[in-house]
Structures are given as C-alpha cells and as structure tokens.
Structure 1
Amino acid sequence: MTICIALIQAEGPVPALPGGYSELGTIGTARLVGKPGTIVAVSGEAALVGYAFHRDSFASCPALDPGAVEHIVRTEGAWAIRKLWGTFILIWADASGQVFVLRSPLTGPALFQTRRQDDGGAAANACCAFTDLGLARALGFRLDRPDPGAIDAYLRYPLLRTPRSTITGATEVLPGEVTRLGHRERRPASWLPWDYASSPPIRAEANDLGSLVRATVGAWSGRFARVQLELSGGIDSSIVAACLSVRSDPWRAITMVTPEPDGDERLYARAMAERANAPLAELMLPAEPADPISTPTMLRVRPGGFGLIGPTDAAFLASARAYGADAIFSGTAGDGAFGYQTSIAPALDALRYRGMRAALSAARDQARITDDNIWSALRHGVRGYFRGIRLWPVDDLLLSVRHASPRPEHPWMTDAGRIPPGQRRYGLGLLSIQPFLDGYDRSLALPKIAPLLSQPLIEYGLGVPSWQWGEGGVNRALAREAFRGDLPDVILARRSKGRILSMFLPAFERNRERLAAYLLDGWLAGAGLLDLDTIADMLTGRKEADTLATLRILQFADIEAWARSVVGSEAPSR
C-alpha cells in the first residue's frame, strides 16, 4: 500500500471522510486519516507512516517505542533523522499540543500543507498536511488555482522543486524537513546535505561502498514478499539486480523495449538477468506514438512526468500487478548516488584539496567522461575557478520574457556557496531526482523503491572526493569497481544510456495542428507564460523545431493538461 494520508487540524467541524478513507489515529489536536491498509503505527502522541529502518542495524522499524517517542519530541525530530532512515512521514505532538511533521530525507513521500481561514463552512480555520490532492479537496480545501509564477519557475529552472508548489495555497514539505502543522517554517532539526560533506573529503574504498549498497538494498528487499525490478541494463539498475540476486523470496526483472533501436536495451538487460539468475519480462511498446494531449488520470499538486510516457507507465504498472508484486524497484538516482558528473567541478575540488597535479588528472578524467579534450576541460576549469559555477541551470527556451521568474529559494542553496563545487554538485544534483520518484502514476499505486537514494548511502557519498567517482575517465568508476565481480563484462564496459526519442518526435509531427489549437489559446497562453509567436511558427512549420524545441513544446502540452485538470475544465481558464 502506498502512502496516502491527510493530517487535519480544525476549529470548526470537519467534513465527513470521503469514501475509501478512515481515521487512522489522533495526534495531539490533529486527526490522521488515510486509506485502509496504509502502513501506520500510532504510538501515544506520535505516528510513523511508511517504511523505516534503524540506522545502526538496518533492521526494519515497524513502530516507535515510548523511549523513541520521548527522544523525538525532545529533539524536535533530530533523533529520528540520526537514528532512522527510509521512506516515511513522522508525526508527533509536544507537551503543549503543537503538532509537528517530518518528511524523511531524500525519499520521503510527497507531502504538502495548506490552511484555510474564513467565516464559515466546513473545516473553517483549518490546516491540513496531505499527500493526495483529491483527499485535501474532499476535506474542504479548494486548491483549484494554478500559480502562474510558480509554473514559470518550474519551467525556467528545470526539476527544481522548492516549498512553493504550482497550486496557489499549497506548499511542499521538503524531504528531510521538520515543520509545524499549519506553518511554513523550517525547523532547525531539518536535514541538510552539507552536514555530511566532509572537508577534506575522505577517500573511499570500493569494498566499503559495495557493502553499504548491499546492506541498503537488502533492507528494502526484506520489506516486500514479491518484487519487480525495472532493469534497463545500465550500471545503476544492474547493481540493484546484483543485490537482489540473494533474495530468497520471489522477484523478477522487466525491461522496456521500444520499436526503434534507441530504446532497445535487451542485450544488457538479458546479460544482467542471466547473471542474477532472475526471470526477465520484456515489455514491448507499441509503434504508434501516444497522444500528447491526453488528460491526466490523477489529480496532482504538481505536474507529473512526461505525458507521452503515460502508456509505458501504465504498462509497467499492469505488469507489476499481473506478477503480484508488492513493490516496484528501480535504479533511479544511481547517477546521483554514484557521483556521475559532466562538469569540471570535480577538478576544482581536486585543486583545492590535492593540488595542481591532482586537478590536471581530474580534468583529464572529466574530459574523457564527456568525450571532450583536455584543453577544453582546462578552459572550463579556469572559467569556473574565477567566475564560480552557478547553483542551478536556467532554461528560457520558448518562455515569455515578460514573466521571467527569479530562481526560487531552496534551503539547500542558502549555504551551498561555502561547499566546494564538486561536492556541491553532488548534493544539489539530488534535487533533480525528486520529480522522478513520484512523477508517474505507478508510484501512486504501488510502492516505488529507489534504494540507491537511501539516506545512509547518500550521506556516505557526500563525504567521498568528487573526483574519485570518475577516476580513469570512467563515470561511476568507484561503483563499477565495487561490483566488478557481480556484473557482466558487457555492463561494466558500458558507457552509453538508452534513449527514447522515437517515442516523442513522431507524436509531435503527427499532432502539430492539435497542439497549436491546444496551446495557442490555452491556460498557459492566457497566463502570459509562453513565447506564442515562436511556438506558432514551429507548429505551423514556418520555423524548424529542433529536438530541444520539440520536447519543450510537448512539455508545455503536459503542463497545459495538468492546469486544466486543476481548474476542472477542458476549456482554457484565464
């Protein structure tokens, strides 16, 4: 069962719970409601929702004993961040009755807050923390107005999720954040990556990394009786497969196959499944492109993943259900956990801690990883040394200049400037993974586990020299060495990734007229967010749309569909 809850605190009467939901407990002055079967343990004035593990033993923590609750209340959640890890929401009340919430670091379930203050109606003067937009609405919170400024920032600063959501009146409780119910304040005990960025960094041993990854995946594996792993045959999902190979309970792998060669990775997936002695299902995708203007199937606070992957997402979920899987595992976040960087930042770290010779070696390694030459790498290094490396990329493509938003604030960025650029890139790179954890519907139907993003592994990685991950000019070199005896040679030698452009470009070409009608007079256009003249030229063929522009226009269609689902109309709402 996935985590689908709401925590509501109200002065007035609370509406009757919608069908399919029940009260799971009372914490202080707040009611905890959710779907029957939600994994929740209420212990006095605290509740643990989801999956938690003990830090010292990696054993499952299904409930909190009175001593743990006392520590949590006294330290305002800091004890839980130090002693537990996993995917959970922790709720507790202090002696004065104030209610606090902790979303577990890195992999915590998407959690939002809203409040309402009015003169009447159900749940007047109420606040709510929730994981499901439909449930929040059923409890009396409207949340039906997209926020144009937040949407512009969402597009302009790609994959950066900050407390400001894309619906007016809803804010996100960030992973690792402790907050008080009904207040947009970040409490001092909240998790920050920079607390684990060792200075100087400590050189890692491949065996230590391998042991930690095996222990982490093993802990997750033990929580589920039947597992399906999404196996691309890349280094990350293959490492997860190697760790699952010791399971005594049933599991299988599944790989996606596109009609065109760009997304056919069966060579690698078959090799890994054979090495892990696991059954492999091959999911053949249809040759016909998906509809780029399809209506979202789920109400969301934020836009979901790429809509054209919707049929693939549904097929993955159907296959997991047909197999009887209790959870879906993936190699998501391996790039981040294993320090895959394509900038010169690791060489700048090497210069700072090891001197010029180490910096030149690291620059040479980065040049090989990016198929560049050493002179270009050094040029980027000199520029980065004197100008600094920006905290987050900006993408203004096809956006209106009239509504350009400044970079939204994120607490991880407040002190990031004091962290060396390679370690900083490692830490901030974790933010871009968050949208992939809950962006697709299958993650809302079954637990979708990304074990490589687990807190112990990431905290370890933050202390590793950033240049060590790419030594020898090989990306994720330390991880490859740690699992050298468990992976086939064809995967150890692999440097490329599968691509699925063949799923997107035909959909654009076949739907130009429909996209024009949908976007040029749509919600985003009415909000003044798009460069309508250029988009119109590209959709009519007066101007060529390259691959990046094509993908951008398809992204606009996704967000247009999301905005219309929020306002509850297929027609534009301005």
Structure 2
Amino acid sequence: MALRYIAIVTRDADQRAHFSRAVRAIGLDQAVTSSTVIVHSDTPSLPLPGGIGAIVGDLFTRATVPERVQAMDNRASQLARDTRGQSLLASYWGGYVAFIEDSSGLVHVVRDPSAAMPCYSLKHEGAVIFASDVDVLVGAGFLTPKIDFTFLARHLYAPDIRTPDTGLVGVQEVMAGFRFSVGPEMQMATQAWSPWDYVQPDRAQSDADMVEHLEQTLLACIAAWAGRYPRCLLGVSGGLDSSILAAGLVEAGADLTCVTLATHEAEGDERAFARILRDRLQFPLTEAFHRPEVVDFTRALSAYLPRPIGHAFAQSNYSIRFELEKALGIDAFFSGIGGDNVFCFTQSATALVDLFRTEGLGMGLVQTFADIYHQNNASAGAVLTMAFQRYANADPTYRFHGETRFLGPAAAHVGDIPLSHPWLNAPKGALPGKAAHIAMLAGLQGTIDGLPRDHAPQILPLISQPVMETCLRIPMWKWIAGGRNRSVARAAFSRRLPKALIERTSKGGPNSFAYAVMEHHKDLVRERLTKGRLAEVGLIDAPVVYEALAPNSLIKPLDHMRLSDLAEAEAWVRHWEAVRIEKTAPTMRV
C-alpha cells in the first residue's frame, strides 16, 4: 500500500493530543513529534535528529550509486533546519515531504519537485493539518467536504494547470518544489526549487558525454527505486519510455513482471513491440485485452482526490493491474509516465530559434532545420514560417490555452483567467524552447496524482529530480537530432534496447477503446450530464452536451475525451456531496 500520513502543526499540547487520538484511530499510529508538529503515518517516517521534525516518503543520496537514507545524522539535520529544507533539495532527491521546525518555531513543509508524495493542507480549529490524501482528512474528522464550484469551472477549463487551490473548500495543495511555512501569525508558500536553475548546458561537454551522463543518471535513479521496491510490475508498450525503464530495472536486478494492454483494433495493439522488448530483456510478460465490462461511469476514478482527474475507461487498466499486484505480491507499480515531458517530445520549430539565439548563424542551423523538416514531414516554408513567428515574439513565456467546449454560463468567465504556473516565470533572456520544455514538466504535474492509496504505490522514475535536472540542461535542438524525437534518450539506451524499438517513432494507445466505451455508455453519460449537478449549477451547456451525445448519431472524434473529462467531474461531485450528506446527517438514537 502507498504511504499515508497526517501532520498536525499546533503549539497547543492538549489539542495535539486530542487530534493525535483521532489520527491513530484510522490506523496512522507511527508518530514523530517536535514541539510544534507531530507527524503520523502508517509506516515509519524518517525522524530528524534534535527533535525538529520528520520526513515522510523516500529520500535518496546524490551519490553515483544512490542509497536510500535510513537515518539522518546530526549535521545533515541541522543543515536542513538552518536552510529551511533547502539542503534537502540540493543534496538529496526522492519522493518525500519534509516537516522541519526551525529555531524560531516556524514549521517548514518542503515537497520534492517530482510530486511523488502528495501533500494537501487545511486549517482546523486553529491548527494546520497536512495529509497524503483527502480520505484520511475526512476519516479523522478534520474535513467535511464541500465542493468549490468556482474552482471547478477553472479546472474544467484547464485541468492540467496545477494551482494550490482545489475543488474542496478549505483544502490546498503544497505544490511540487515548494516550501510552505507555518507560524503563529503567518502561512506562506515560497518556491524552493526552480527548473530555470538547471537550463544552462555544460559548454565543455561533448555530445557523447551528454548522452552518457543522461544514461548514467537514468540508470542510477531507476536502480534506487528498484532497491526500494524490488518486486515491481511495469506497464510496457514497446515505446521508448517504458522500454528505457524496463532496461534499467533489469540491469538493477529487480524482480520484474511486465504487463501490456491491448485493444481489438490495430491502433491500440502494441503487443508485438512489447514482445520484442521481452525477448531482448528476458522478463515475464502478461498480455491482456482491455475490459469494457468493468467501466462504470457512475464511479469516480478520482474519488479520493480534491480535484477530478482521469477517465472512466482507465478502470479497465486499473482492474488488470490490481489483480496482478495481488496475485504476485507486488511492492509497486512502475510506469514510464512523464518520459515525453522530461525527454522534450516536441514537433515545434522553436529549436531553430533557440539555436540561432545561442550560436548565431552556422551550419548547425542548416542541420537543425533539416531535422525539423524530416521529423514533421513539413514543407520548408512551413518550418521557416513557424520559426520566424516564434523568433518575432520577444516574450519567451509559454502560453497555455484552455478548453471551453461544452462549458456553460457559470463558466463564462474562465476565458479571462490567466493560465500560468510558477515554473513558467521565465527569466530575462530565456530561450523559448526551454520555456516550452519547462511547460511540459509543469503540465505533467496536473496528471500524476496516482492511484488510491490502498493499492501499491505508483513509481515514476523518469521524472526523478536528477533526471529532470539533467534533461533541462540539454539544448532543445539536441532532443530532435537526426529528425527523431527524444533523440538523446534514444542514444543513451541504444546499446541496451532492440534497434526496432530505438528507431520506433509511432505511438499507439487506448483511444479506440476509450471511444468505444463512451459510445456504448452514451445514453447513461447523456442522462447524467444533462440532468446532473454540473448542468444544475451551470458549469456545462446541457443542450450542447445532449447534441454531442444524441441517440441517433455517432460522437464526433476527439469529443469523446472531453465528454469523458466532464463525466468524471460529474461522478466526482456526486461522490463528495454524498460524503458530505453522510458526515452531516444527524445520528439516530435508539
């Protein structure tokens, strides 16, 4: 099971004792205490010497061969206190949240940049409570959930742009790479880690050295996670990202089983590529077809989260994974999610602009122009037009765009809301391609909340902090060298993976399954959306939704995914409103 925790920040000893009893009653009976904060978890956390706090989650050293930190020494603990947790970000990495009390009594909550360990907060009776998930907050009696429909309007407009706000009133998120400081008279969030600190390439590093450095960083991070969770299940497709992860896990000696899921249409059947990977790396491979019969649009996939994310069709994926986890005694599910983002999968001509601004005119521009031309199968004129348009825009800041399809009058204002993320604040002179790369990482934060915490944890090694920092230093034009996306990552694992997979540029996926499921359940989804809570509060335009799901016509291509977003939001709202009714209903005395 994934780690669960609640941390209570209060100076009132009686209140701390009272709250701790409530937390222990839901099974979080491991506790580390300082004078101001007590950290409860269901598995032991890492105490900081001197009684100054604790770290929940996994912390690894930055050595060539990373080791999991089992105990902090006095010097490292004092340095973490003196720097308000900054030393952890500089000297360690992992999936963790640190609770550190400084000499003035302030408590600093630091979340690592990978977002591997969730962290939500709320105020309760004068105390500030932090937790791994909303379910434990409700279970311990700290939260009676209430939907924030104003937030939900903005979320439906741009679900991937993460903010500290959530869809439950009073619940906030400590953002990845941020420090949240709590004192008697103040609460303040500050950015403790910035991707912009890692964008400068090493000028003395050759292309071969760059490839080797990425290779060694990936292998080291994958091995560290494999050492922590040795019996692992990996989802593979024969695509580059999951294949890199499989090669790293095999080299690390993990007890590895892989699973590949297929649709009955060729578009979503990647079993042939997964078998090529299996034959090269020699691991057990389970093949399964998606299960439409387990998909239930009345059940919220994100019922344990403070925001709706995901799609009902993913219930098929999860049902197969959960069965395998139970049967095989799996410690963790590993996934190549985030590979496209960290390896800068782009089809933009912005790389040409970055190179020109960095090196000026030269033969490198000719080569990069050819790479973009071949990668996109575009005309020379189209490539030049795209590059010139980006060059003419002096502001390097990446601009996100929202989605207004099917939204109703209560969401009419969302188009005026600026879409941004703290990581997108580009410094003066920043390269637009690097801004786009960082935007990919920022957008990823809105999609990786993981699975319910009563299942094995989901581990995403490709977005480990050292991997992100290494990839950010690689210039954008290097990622498309030879006209192939993610070129540096391909080169890094060319000796470990079959040529057919290294050279593969096509992508499959379950889109056809997702469409078939939505079409099959169209009547139910139409009924729930047009007569449900989102329509009632005006967040969706019921007549337009009805037309898109009309009984005697097929759903338009691409509309099915947007409608799936809305169906998940509807299920999520109904779930939390039912919980609220249960929590506030008067108890009957006999």
Output the TM-score relative to the length of structure 1: 0.91
Aligned counterpart for 1:500 among listed residues 480, 493, 510: 510
Deviation at 1:75, TM superposition (A): 0.8
**Does 2:444 match 1:433?**
yes
Matched with 1:487 is: 497
Supply the distance in 2 between the matched residues of 1:360 and 1:155 (Cα, whole angstroms): 42
Given the superposition, is the C-alpha separation of residues 317 and 40 from structure 1 closer, same or farther in structure 2, using an over 3 Å criterion? farther
Matched with 1:49 is: 56
Given the superposition, is the C-alpha separation of residues 510 and 283 from structure 1 closer, same or farther in structure 2, using an over 3 Å criterion? closer
Is the deviation greater in 371-380 or in 197-206?
A: 197-206
Matched with 1:292 is: 297
Q: Which SS does the other structure have where 1:283 is aligned?
A: strand
* Code of the aligned partner of 1:397: R
Which segments of 5 or more consecutive residues in structure 1 lack a partner in the other structure? 117-123
**Does 2:262 match 1:262?**
no
Supply the distance in 2 between the matched residues of 1:342 and 1:403 (Cα, whole angstroms): 32
Matched with 1:321 is: 326
Q: Does the Cα contact within 8 Å between 1:305 and 1:439 map onto a contact in 2? A: no
Give 1:65-76 correspondences, 5 Å limit.
Answer: 65-76=73-84
Aligned counterpart for 1:306 among listed residues 308, 311, 326: 311
Q: Which SS does the other structure have where 1:185 is aligned?
A: strand
Q: Does the Cα contact within 8 Å between 2:32 and 2:45 map onto a contact in 1? A: no
Deviation at 1:532, TM superposition (A): 2.5
Supply the distance in 1 between the matched residues of 2:83 and 2:38 (Cα, whole angstroms): 23
Matched with 2:92 is: 84
Q: Does the Cα contact within 8 Å between 1:4 and 1:34 map onto a contact in 2? A: yes
Deviation at 1:199, TM superposition (A): 6.4
Is the deviation greater in 477-486 or in 394-403?
A: 394-403
Q: Does the Cα contact within 8 Å between 2:335 and 2:459 map onto a contact in 1? A: yes
Q: Which SS does the other structure have where 2:480 is aligned?
A: helix
**Does 2:556 match 1:546?**
yes
How many corresponding residue pairs?
561
Supply the distance in 2 between the matched residues of 1:229 and 1:429 (Cα, whole angstroms): 23
Given the superposition, is the C-alpha separation of residues 397 and 215 from structure 1 closer, same or farther in structure 2, using an over 3 Å criterion? same
Output the TM-score relative to the length of structure 2: 0.89
**Does 2:432 match 1:421?**
yes
Identical-pair percentage: 27
**Does 2:105 match 1:97?**
yes
Deviation at 1:543, TM superposition (A): 7.6
**Does 2:367 match 1:365?**
no
**Does 2:145 match 1:144?**
yes
Supply the distance in 1 between the matched residues of 2:373 and 2:428 (Cα, whole angstroms): 25
Supply the distance in 2 between the matched residues of 1:249 and 1:456 (Cα, whole angstroms): 21
Deviation at 1:80, TM superposition (A): 0.5
Deviation at 1:322, TM superposition (A): 1.3
Give 1:124-135 correspondences, 5 Å limit.
Answer: 124-135=125-136
Q: Which SS does the other structure have where 1:154 is aligned?
A: helix
Supply the distance in 2 between the matched residues of 1:543 and 1:266 (Cα, whole angstroms): 33
Aligned counterpart for 2:230 among listed residues 219, 225, 228: 225
* Code of the aligned partner of 1:264: D
Q: Does the Cα contact within 8 Å between 1:3 and 1:38 map onto a contact in 2? A: no
* Code of the aligned partner of 1:187: T
Give 1:64-213 correspondences, 5 Å limit.
Answer: 64-116=72-124, 124-181=125-182, 184-187=187-190, 190-198=192-200, 204=207, 205-213=210-218
Which segments of 5 or more consecutive residues in structure 2 lack a partner in the other structure? 582-590
Q: Which SS does the other structure have where 1:186 is aligned?
A: strand
Deviation at 1:544, TM superposition (A): 6.3
* Superposition CA RMSD, Å: 2.4
Matched with 1:514 is: 524
Deviation at 1:329, TM superposition (A): 1.4
Aligned counterpart for 1:32 among listed residues 39, 45, 48: 39
Supply the distance in 2 between the matched residues of 1:139 and 1:32 (Cα, whole angstroms): 14
Matched with 1:119 is: none
* Code of the aligned partner of 1:260: E
* Structure 1 residue ranges (4+ consecutive) displaced by more than 3 angstroms after TM superposition: 10-13, 38-43, 181-184, 199-204, 295-298, 356-361, 387-390, 415-418, 541-545
* Code of the aligned partner of 1:170: V
Matched with 2:587 is: none
Q: Does the Cα contact within 8 Å between 1:348 and 1:359 map onto a contact in 2? A: no
Q: Which SS does the other structure have where 2:479 is aligned?
A: helix
Q: Which SS does the other structure have where 2:130 is aligned?
A: strand
Supply the distance in 2 between the matched residues of 1:154 and 1:203 (Cα, whole angstroms): 43
Q: Show CA shifts across 1:347-378 (max 9, x none).
A: 21111112244345324323432333332121
Given the superposition, is the C-alpha separation of residues 297 and 160 from structure 1 closer, same or farther in structure 2, using an over 3 Å criterion? closer
Deviation at 1:179, TM superposition (A): 1.1
Deviation at 1:114, TM superposition (A): 0.9
